Structures are given as C-alpha cells and as structure tokens.
Amino acid sequence: MRKFAHIAPRTIEEAVSALQRYGDRASIIAGGTDILGKMKDEILPKYPEALINIKTIPGLEFLKEEAGVLRIGPLVRLEDLAKEPRIREKYAALAQAASRTASPHLREMGTLGGNLCQDIRCWYYRNPANRFPCLRKGGGRCYAIEGDNRYHSIMGGSVEGGCYAVHPSDTAPALIALSAEIITSKRTLKAEDLFQVDIEKTTVLDSDEIITEIQVPRPAPGSKSAFLKFAIRKSIDFPIVNCAAGIAITAGKVKAARICLNAIAVKPYRAVKAEKAILKQRVNEQSAEAAGNAALSEAKPMERNGYMVQIARVLVKRAILACRE
Amino acid sequence: MPRKNKPVAALKKYSCPYCRETFDAFEAIKSHILTGHPTESLPEPEGIIHLTINGQKYKFQVEPDWTLHYLIHDRLGLTGTKLMCDRGACGSCTVIVNGRPVLSCMMLAIECNGRQIETVEGIAASNHPLIEEYVKHHCMQCGYCTPGFVVTAKALLDRTLDPTEHEIREALGGNLCRCGTYPQHPKAILEAAKLLREAGTR
C-alpha cells in the first residue's frame, strides 16, 4: 500500500479533532476489513493521507442490557454478537445477521459500526485503480445503468444522482427491524435514518463524526425476529438479497410488524407495504405470501436483475413465517 | 450530492508526549510535564510495537502501511503463513491473534502492539495432533491453503474440544481450497479433537 500516517487516538475527542484537522483526507479504521481493501485496490480518486485508528479508544466494545435497552459499542466484533446467547434468544435477527456476515475470520475482525458504515460493493465502483470514475465518486455517470447490473437496485436509483448500487450490510436491516437507534458523537438517529447515498460514503455521518453506541430496545413480549440471506455461497459472500423481520403476535394476530429488505435498493428498504399487509392478520402461508408480493409491488428491476424481485418476495414471506410461534 | 465544508480546528502548538494534552505556550507545557508526569519514562516513538509471536517476544519498528502478514512473512521470515487474495477473501493468511483466528493481510502491523500471535510454525512446533491428522487424512494437495486451514482449526479446537461436524464446516467457511480437499478437513479435525479430549482425561 502507499504511505499514510497512522493516528492512534486515546479518546473520542482526540479522534474527532484529528478528523477535523484532516477534513475528508483521512479515514477511520475500525476492523479494517473494508478500508484496507479499498486502499489496496486504490479504487477512489484520492488515497487517504491518514488512518485514524479508533480501536485504540477504550470503552467502545461494551455489550450490555440496561433498563430494557441493549447497548452495543460500535467496535463489538460481529462474531461476538453472533455467539452471545442473550442476543440469539431475544434479538434473534441481529445475531442471525451477524452470524451470516462474511466469513468467521472477517467476523472476528469486523465491527458492528463498521458493518453499518461500509461502502458499496458495486463492481464498477470497486474496480481497481479507479477504472470507472463513476457518479458515486463525484464523476459524471453510472456505469451500471447500461452495464452489468445483475446485483444492483431493483427499487430504482438514488433520487438526485442516479446511483444504482445497493447497500451491502446484513446487520443494517436487522437493526432497522428491531427499531434500533444509532448514537454518534454529535446526535442520535433512528437506524433507518443513518443511511444515505453520498459521494464515497453510505451514511449521513459528517467526516468528523463517529458512531459511539448502537441501542436496541427490548422487544415487546410475544415478539420474534428473524433474518434471512440469499447469496450464492453460504460463507464469505455479500447478500444478493436479505430480509429481516420483527413481528409481535397477540391472540394469534399480528399486532406490530417491522420488515426490512436490503441489498435490493440504494439504502436498506423498509417494506412498509408488507407491514401494512400483514398487520392484524393471522400469520400463514397465504398472508405471508401476500405481504411478500405487496413489498415488491413497486419494484423497478433493471435489465439483468429481475430475478432479485422473486427472491425478495420469497425472503419476505419466509422471514414473516419464521417469526410465528 | 453536495459536499460539506468543515472549518479546520485551530491547532495548539505543543502536545504532551505522555497524555497528548495540548498547549499554546511552552511554559504551560513545561510546568504540565514537571507536575503531571515527573517520573514517567519517555513514550516510545511511533512505529515501535511489541509482539509475542509463537511464545517469543519481539520488538519491531514498523511502517504504518505494513500489514501484519508483511511483517510476519517478509520481515520475520515466518513464511508458513501464505498470501493469496490479499483482500480478506480466501483465509490463507490466517493467524491467531489473542485467541481469534484473523486475516493477517487485513491487519496493519502497527495496530498489533501488545498482541499474542500464533502462526502455523508455532502450532507445528508444539506437536499439535492436527498436524499428524492432516497428514493421515490427506488434507492437502498443493499445500498452499493448508496453513490457513490448520490455524483456523486450531483456533476452533482451542475454544471447543468437541465440535460437531456442522460447527467445523461453519468455522472453516472462510478458508478456500482450489484443489478441492474440503471433504477431508472435518475428518481430520474430528479425529484431532478426539485425541485432545483423550489426552486431557489421561
């Protein structure tokens, strides 16, 4: 790799101050499994001058339940989330999503905060040496529109710029289905408000803003959550489509539902139509299938990704069925 | 997609090498050090890291852009840990850091200060039953992926001496083999686990 400065802050303030000094010329490194790949391939027009290593800040790896809220530090490794019995039992979608992310080795290194903030995997964006200076890097066009878009968005492009790359996170839809909140060094956000389509980034975070905590409220009694992922290989692969659902059933009928798809749109896609369709229904094959169809009723597949629509419908259906007792 | 411009924070002139507090005046930092850090030895220069590799302590001067793999393989000469994809997607560079099987190509050497590292050489030197079982069950053809598999398997057996075959397959999910030796690894690991259990009860 090319030369860069390595900064090891000891407090969040030190990290923020270093980020402010560098503006957008420095990058945060947490698990390193995304940023180092980007740097080795030199996919972006500018190479970071410095890496601000937030693993040297103590106190960001906590995992505890307090006053009905699960509090997770941003540096908690995905494998620890996947294996923690309390999370597998009560926040199943999150544990399942973490356990199906990447590979065991990458889960031992990768962090929850990093998984949320990770960059897109569009193969034009990721082509080495900035072979395709696309819209998402500040360039003039999206190459996927006329190119090979088999893994790109089936729900249209981003409103302003027309980027069609999907968000690749597995934990993002699980956190959205579980009504999580993200606390940063500047503000508190609902999980679904964290994401946006921007140049060389996938979140609303400023260049000097760090996630400091992820909070998940204790699911109401009678709730279950589930996460499903479709990919070609069972390990290592990013999702082609994934779906998380959190459903509360009272007296046999759905009292509340949160269903979130990802890897099908430019941001994690909350399937509001599916939620409305399943509300107050009994959960069975028919109602779950109807909800799946409703979720994708406004799909706008591109030339080569029409197959993702059916996969998404089925994942919604199966995620709902997985939540019934 | 508008960019945001942030005003640059004003830099103070002096930074304490012990606690990194910043000061504008020389007299201020001088009295801070004399009163706050009277007996501390000077901190080490950036780039000096201390590691324990296979039980042996080392002190290195590293560049920030060195990966842990480059340090272990190219600088220290422990060539057992292989490099293939260099992107965290194949598992051949696996080492154990503080008990976790991780990818040395995706870690910076400079961020490993104070860590305990085990490589395949250490596992072989300790006569771990995995080595013999890997040979007996013919788990290698070209042998390039094998150190990665052995290290991952050893990390698994460190955590549980009674893995199910499903657990073994899941744990090895990050290791790729182009020669197709996959069916053999669970057999070898189950056998090695049995040997370790028996050794533990003897």
Which of A8, A103, A198 lies closest to B91 in CB terms?
A: A103
From chain A, the residues in CB contact with B62 under 8 A are none
- Containing A66, the helix (H) or strand (E) segment is strand A63-66
What percent of chain B is modeled with pLDDT above 90?
81
Which of B8, B89, B100 lies closest to A21 in CB terms?
A: B8
Side-chain-side CA neighbours of A199 within 13 Å: the count stands at 17
DSSP string, B144-176: SSHHHHHHHHHHHHHH-SS--HHHHHHHGGG--
Interface of B with A in 102-141 (CB under 8 A): 102-103, 106-108, 110-111
CB A241 within 8 A of CB A306: no
Strand-pair partners of B59: B50
| Beta-carbon count within 10 A of A80 CB | 18
Q: Where are the domains of chain B?
A: 13-43, 77-107+116-201
Tens of pLDDT along B90-118?
999 999 999 999 999 999 999 999 999 99
**Residue A161's pLDDT is what?**
59
Residue A171 tokens, joined: 């934990």
Q: Which residue intervals of B37-119 are DSSP H helices?
A: 68-69
Strand-pair partners of A52: A7, A28
pLDDT-wise least confident of B75-84, B98-107, B193-202: B193-202
**Residue A110's pLDDT is what?**
98
CB A227 within 8 A of CB A308: no
Q: How large is the average pLDDT for residues B57-73?
A: 98
pLDDT band at B44 (very low <50, low <70, confident <90, very high): confident
Which of A29, A138, A235 lies closest to B173 in CB terms?
A: A235
Which of A29, A197, A199 lies closest to B3 in CB terms?
A: A199
pLDDT band at B12 (very low <50, low <70, confident <90, very high): low
3-state class (DSSP) for residue B10:
coil
3-state class (DSSP) for residue A311:
helix
CB A132 within 8 A of CB A143: yes
How many angstroms away from the CA of B108 is the closest CA of chain A?
Answer: 8
What percent of chain A is modeled with pLDDT above 90?
95
The helix-helix angle for B146-159 and B129-136 (nearest 10°) equals 130
* Closest C-alpha among B66, B2, B82, B111 to residue A39: B66
- Containing A227, the helix (H) or strand (E) segment is strand A223-230
pLDDT at B170 over 90: yes
Which stretches of chain A score pLDDT less than 70? 159-161, 325
Burial class of residue B200, CB neighbours in 10 A (0-12, 13-18, 19+): exposed
**Residue B167's pLDDT is what?**
97
Is A23 close to B6, i.e. CB distance below 8 A? yes
Does this model's pTM top 0.90? yes
B-chain residue closest to A236, CA distance: B174
3-state class (DSSP) for residue A236:
coil
What is the amino acid identity at position A143? Answer: Y
**Residue A69's pLDDT is what?**
97
Q: Complex ipTM, two decimals?
A: 0.95
Which of B8, B20, B94 lies closest to A20 in CB terms?
A: B8
What CA–CA distance (Å, rounded) separates A229 from B128? 37
pLDDT at B6 over 70: no
Q: Which residue intervals of chain B are DSSP H helices?
A: 26-36, 68-69, 120-125, 129-136, 146-159, 165-171, 184-201
How many angstroms away from the CA of B107 is the closest CA of chain A?
Answer: 7
Q: How large is the average pLDDT for residues B151-168?
A: 97
**CATH numbers and ranges of domains, chain A:** 63-116+167-322 (3.30.390.50)
Tens of pLDDT along B132-143?
999 999 999 999
**Residue A160's pLDDT is what?**
61
Q: What are the φ/ψ torsions at residue A107 (nearest 5 degrees)?
A: -70, -25
**Architecture category of domain B77-107+116-201 in CATH:** Orthogonal Bundle (1.10)
Q: How large is the average pLDDT for residues B5-28?
A: 72
From chain A, the residues in CB contact with B152 under 8 A are 104-105
CB B50 within 8 A of CB B58: yes
Q: Report the length, in residues, of chain B.
A: 202
Interface of A with B in 107-166 (CB under 8 A): 108-109, 138, 160-161
pLDDT at B179 over 50: yes
| The residue to which tokens 């200060």 are assigned | B113
Residue A261 tokens, joined: 């798809």
Is A36 in CB contact (< 8 Å) with chain B?
yes
**Residue B14's pLDDT is what?**
77
Q: What are the φ/ψ torsions at residue A214 (nearest 5 degrees)?
A: -120, 125
Residue A269 tokens, joined: 């896609």
